[in-house]
Amino acid sequence: MKLCIVCSTGGHLTEVILLAKDYYKKHEHFFVTFKRIDSVELSRKHKVYFVVDPKKNPLSFMHDFLQSFFIFLKEKPDAVISTGAGVALPLLLIAKLMGKKTVYIEPSCNIKLPSATGKIAYKFVDLFLVQWKENLKFYPKAKFKEGIF
């Protein structure tokens, strides 16, 4: 199984890296994110594709979508996993449209309010995970998984 792991840098990237041991390390995988110090460091040991950070800008989102589409065609992942944020939506959408499995994990910092990316991804991903029971009021069909990270 080949996995695409897509997320923003910073805390989102830190959380997804913590998933490695228990969830994806044994599978072929690659990362999609934007370029910052932490993602450049990751690229020294892993295959990483850099895309435009959409920053809630429609033109940047379209640029990210096109970049993501070509990465998807080149890599042909079986599933896409994400902890958010906006950079994740294009690849999650593309994967869903191509009939691949999609997994979204609501970031652990979101306890009292749902994330903007989570509110959108919740509508179409195959598996939506939350790490706080409080999140189930926002995402009633989500699966609660304590201690993911």
DSSP 31-95: EEE--SHHHHHHTTTS-EEE----TT-HHHHHHHHHHHHHHHHHH--SEEEEEE-TTHHHHHHHH
Query: What's the CATH number where 26 sits?
Result: 3.40.50.2000
Q: How far apart are CA 59 and CA 73, in angstroms?
A: 21
Q: Any idea what DSSP says for residue 12?
A: H
Domain that holds residue 108: 2-144
Task: Tell me the pLDDT band of 56, cut-offs 50, 70 and 90.
Answer: confident
Is residue 60 very low, low, confident or very high in pLDDT (cuts 50, 70, 90)?
very high
- The pLDDT tens digits for 15-38 are 999 887 777 888 999 999 999 999
Mean pLDDT of the chain: 93
Number of domains observed in the structure of the chain: 1
Does 30 map to a domain? yes
| pLDDT band at residue 146 using 50, 70 and 90 as cut-offs | confident
Q: What pLDDT does residue 118 have? A: 95
> Residue 149: inside a domain, yes or no?
no
